[in-house]
Structure 1
Amino acid sequence: MRYIIIGAGAVGGSIGGRLAEAGRDVVLVARGAHLEALQRDGLRLLTPDSDLRLPVTAVSGPRELGELRRDDVLILCVKSQDTANVLNQWALAPVAGGGTAAELLPVVCAQNGVENERTALRLFQNVYGLCVWLPSVHLEPGVVAANCTPQSGILTVGRYPDGIDDVIKQIGHDLAESRFDAPVVDDVMRWKYGKLLNNLDNAFEAVSDLSSDEELAERLIETGREEGIRALNAAGIPFVGAAERHAVQGDRMRFTEIPGAPRGGGSSWQSLARGTGSIETDYLSGEISLIGRMRGIPTPVNALMQRLSARFAAEGRAPGSLPIEELAQMVRDVQDSAN
C-alpha cells in the first residue's frame, strides 16, 4: 500500500512520518510554506525519543501524482470544514488501469468529529473511520511534533458505517508497526462519538486560558460535556465512555513535553495560533448543537462556544485571550436564559 496523507499538519504529519519511518511508501499533501519546506528539506518529526528528518514525497494535490495507483490509500487529515472541498479534488483523480479514486480507492477519515465519513460516502465507495488519539503540534513549516511515548498514539480504525474488511485489517497492521496502537473494530463510530465528547473542550481551550483557574475550567468544560451526553442519549447514539477509553489506553501513551516544540493547545487552539481564519468547532460543539436541536434538547453552552470560537477565528484573535471569569459569566448567562 502507498499512503497518501491529505493534510500533513500535526496529525497527518505524525501519521505519515511514523509510517515512513517504518518503511511504508508515503506521500504527504500540503500547501504553502509547509509544502515548500517538505519538498526542500523533507519532514522533520520530533518525538520524545528522537529528532527525525524524513525524505518523504510531498505534493499539493492529485495532479502532481498523475495516475494514482490501485494500492493507494487516501488518509484524510484536514479539518472538517475543509473535507468536502478536498474530497472533490481527489474523487475524480484517475487510477492506473481505469476508474477513479472515488470508485476504487479507500479513504480513511483520520479527523475529529463525526460528519466527515458521511461526507466522504457521498463520493467514495469505500470509506473508513479512524478515531484519533494523537497529541501533536504543527506550528512551523516542515516540522511536526508527536508528544506521546512509547506509542505515539492510539488510532482505532474500522469500516464506515460499521464492519471490518481485509483493507482495514492491513491498514491497522501497518499503523501498528509504526509506533501506534491501531485496534480494528466493527463499531468505529462509537469510538468517534466518544472522542467527540472529549473534543468539546477544544472551544473552551481556544478562547480562554484554562490554566489560569483549572478548577473553574473543568467545571465549565463539564457543562458542555453534560449537554453532549444528554443530546447523544436522546438521539440513541452509542459512544465510548471515559472508563473504556482509559482501559484501552493504559500507560502506552504518556504525554511528554518536547524541548523546542511547546504544545500550547489542541487542534482548535493551533488553528487560532496559526491565524488560519477558520476553526473546526462547528463540527464539535456545533455537532452537539445540531443533535440537540434535532431532538429538542437544549445545548446553550455548546452553542455559545461554537459562536465564540467562530468569532475568534474570523477576527484573528489570539487563542486564550478571553479571561476565564468573563467566559464563566457568559456560560451562566446562557444557562439562565435556557432555564
Structure 2
Amino acid sequence: MRYIIIGAGAVGGAIGGRLAQSGREVVLVARGAHLAALREGGLRLRVPEGELTYRLPAVEGPARLGALRADDVLILAVKTQDTEAALAAWGPAPVAGGGTAAGRLPLLCAQNGVEGQRLALRRFRHVYGVCVWLPAAHVEPGVVSAAGTPLTGMLHLGRHPHGTDGTLRRIAADLEAAHFGAPVVPDVSRWQYAKLLANLANAIEAVSGPLESEAARALYDRVRAEGEAVLAAAGIAHASATEQKETRGDRITLVPLPGGPRGGGSSWQSLVRGTGTIEADHLNGEIVLLGRLHGVPTPLNELLQHLANTFAREHRAAGSLPVAELVRLAGEAAPAAG
C-alpha cells in the first residue's frame, strides 16, 4: 500500500515519517512554505532517537500524481476547518482502472473532534475514524517533532460510523511496524469522544498558555464537566479515564527533544504559525452544538470558542491572555459555577 498523507503537519508528518522509516511508500501533501521546505530539504522528523530526514514525494494536490493507485490509502490529517477543501480536491481524483478516490479508496480521518469523518462520509464511500493520541508539533516549515517513546503515538482505528474490516487490519499492521499502537475497534467513536473531552483544554492553552496553575486546571475541570453533561444528555458514550490509562499504560512517555518547540498542542501551534484559523469550532464548538440540540447550557465552552477564534482571526500571540483574566471572564460567563 502507498500512503498519501493529506496534511503533513504535526500529526500527518509524524505518521508519514514513521511509515517511511519502516519502509512504506509515502507521499506528503502540504502547501506554502512547508511544501517548499519538504521539496527542498525533505521532512525533518525530530524524535527521541534523533533527527531523521526523509526525502519523500511532496505535492500540493492530486494533479501532480496523475491517476491514483488502487492500493493507495488516504490519511486526512488537516485541521477540521480545512476538511471540506481537502475532500473537494481529493474526492474526484481518478484511480487507475476506473472510478475515483471517493468511490474506491480508504480515507482515514486522523483529526481531532468528530466532524471530519461526518463530512467525509458525504463524499467518500470508505471512511475510517482515528482517535489520535500523538504528541507532536509543527511550527517550522519542513520540521515535525514527536517526543513519544517507546511508541510515537496511539491510533485507535475503526470504520465510520462503526465496525472493522480487513483493510483496516492491514493498515494497523503497517502502523504497528512504524512505532505506533493501532488498536482496531468497532466503536472508535467512544475513543474519539473521550479525546474530545480532553481537547476542550486546547483553547485554554492556546489563549493563556499551559495549564500549569491551579486556577487553569480548575477552569478546565468546569469546562470538561459541561462537556460530560452534554454527552450524557445526548446519549453519547465515551471511553472512561480508566480504559484510556490501561490502553496507553507506559507505552507513550514524553522526552525532551533538542531543538524541539516549547509550548502546546495543535490549537496553540495554529496561533504560533499565524494561520488565521483554529479548530475551536469543532472542539469546544462541538460541545456548544450538542448543548443547544439537547438543552444543556455550555457558557464556558462558548466563551472559549469565541476567544480562540478571536485570537486566530486577529493574529494575537499564543498564551497572551493572563490566566487570571480568563478566569474572570469565565466567572462572568457562568457566575453560578464561579
TM range (shorter): over 0.9
Instruction: For 1:336 and 1:263, locate their aligned partners in 2 and report how far apart those are by CA, in whole Å.
Output: 34
Alignment of 1:211-222 (within 5 A): 214-222=213-221
Instruction: For 2:114 and 2:274, locate their aligned partners in 1 and report how far apart those are by CA, in whole Å.
Output: 25
Deviation string 1:269-313 (CA, Å, 9 cap, x unpaired) is 000000000000100000000000000000000000000000000
Root-mean-square deviation (CA), in Å? Answer: 1.1
Structure 2 residue aligned with 1:93: 93
Q: 1:55 to 1:67 in 2, by over 3 A?
A: same
Structure 1 residue aligned with 2:105: 105
Question: Secondary structure in 1 aligned to 2:334?
Answer: helix
Instruction: For 2:12 and 2:221, locate their aligned partners in 1 and report how far apart those are by CA, in whole Å.
Output: 29
Structure 2 residue aligned with 1:234: 233
Structure 1 residue aligned with 2:147: 147
Q: Which amino acid aligns with 1:35?
A: L
Pairing 1:264–2:287 present: no
Q: Shift of the alpha carbon at 1:214?
A: 1.5
Q: Which amino acid aligns with 1:289?
A: V
Is contact 1:2-1:26 (8 Å) kept? Answer: yes
Instruction: For 2:304 and 2:256, locate their aligned partners in 1 and report how far apart those are by CA, in whole Å.
Output: 28
Q: Shift of the alpha carbon at 1:317?
A: 0.2
Instruction: For 1:19 and 1:333, locate their aligned partners in 2 and report how far apart those are by CA, in whole Å.
Output: 48
Deviation string 1:214-248 (CA, Å, 9 cap, x unpaired) is 11111001111000000000000010121110110
Instruction: For 2:226 and 2:49, locate their aligned partners in 1 and report how far apart those are by CA, in whole Å.
Output: 39
Instruction: For 1:218 and 1:337, locate their aligned partners in 2 and report how far apart those are by CA, in whole Å.
Output: 18
Q: Shift of the alpha carbon at 1:338?
A: 8.6
Q: Shift of the alpha carbon at 1:263?
A: 3.2
Is contact 1:292-1:298 (8 Å) kept? Answer: yes
Q: Shift of the alpha carbon at 1:53?
A: 0.9
Alignment of 1:1-339 (within 5 A): 1-210=1-210, 214-336=213-335
Is contact 2:130-2:158 (8 Å) kept? Answer: yes
Is contact 1:210-1:324 (8 Å) kept? Answer: no
Q: Shift of the alpha carbon at 1:5?
A: 0.2
Question: Secondary structure in 2 aligned to 1:138?
Answer: strand
Deviation string 1:12-39 (CA, Å, 9 cap, x unpaired) is 0000000000000100000111111111
Question: Secondary structure in 2 aligned to 1:137?
Answer: strand
Q: Shift of the alpha carbon at 1:327?
A: 0.4
Is contact 1:298-1:338 (8 Å) kept? Answer: no
Q: Shift of the alpha carbon at 1:55?
A: 1.5
Deviation string 1:175-207 (CA, Å, 9 cap, x unpaired) is 000000000000001110000000000000000
Deviation string 1:83-132 (CA, Å, 9 cap, x unpaired) is 01110100100000110000100100000000111100000000000110
TM-score (structure 2 length as normaliser): 0.98
Is contact 1:2-1:72 (8 Å) kept? Answer: yes
Q: Shift of the alpha carbon at 1:337?
A: 7.1
Deviates more, 1:240-249 or 1:18-27: 240-249
Instruction: For 2:319 and 2:33, locate their aligned partners in 1 and report how far apart those are by CA, in whole Å.
Output: 26
Q: Which structure 1 segments of 5+ residues have no match?
A: none
TM-score (structure 1 length as normaliser): 0.98
Is contact 1:136-1:263 (8 Å) kept? Answer: no
Is contact 1:146-1:152 (8 Å) kept? Answer: yes
Q: 1:219 to 1:246 in 2, by over 3 A?
A: same
Q: Shift of the alpha carbon at 1:210?
A: 3.7
Is contact 2:210-2:264 (8 Å) kept? Answer: no
Instruction: For 1:257 and 1:81, locate their aligned partners in 2 and report how far apart those are by CA, in whole Å.
Output: 30
Instruction: For 1:107 and 1:199, locate their aligned partners in 2 and report how far apart those are by CA, in whole Å.
Output: 23
* Aligned length, in residue pairs: 338
Is contact 2:210-2:263 (8 Å) kept? Answer: no
